[in-house]
Amino acid sequence: GEEVAQTPKHLVRGEGQKAKLYCAPIKGHSYVFWYQQVLKNEFKFLISFQNENVFDETGMPKERFSAKCLPNSPCSLEIQATKLEDSAVYFCASSHRGGGSGNTIYFGEGSWLTVV
């Protein structure tokens, strides 16, 4: 597609429940990025993929967060045993060739996760 498609737009989970978010990158883009935006401000980098391979996972809280990008499937971000602090907007972005040297990333509209 011509845009990054994220689902669901809104998700409400009770503390301790699992949350799973999906992202379909722009067709032809090799890189996928996940960011967490809290309080409408800072973008916290979580993880990036080059095709189905993890490229950079330095931002992932590994004990509860996991992500995958499998061939011919939307990418996913899963949070096990959600906590109140996980309430945020999760943005997926994709890029043709990754960051740097004019390679822009394009964002989806985000998935709003509310943990109650």
Binding site for other proteins (CB under 8 A): 4, 31, 33, 35, 40-43, 45, 48, 55-56, 91, 93, 95, 98-110
Residue number, 18 or 44, with CB nearest to other proteins? 44
Which of 70, 46, 69 has the alpha carbon at shortest distance from 58? 46
Residue number, 25 or 110, with CB nearest to other proteins? 110
Which of 33, 24, 26 has the alpha carbon at shortest distance from 59? 33
Residue number, 25 or 108, with CB nearest to other proteins? 108
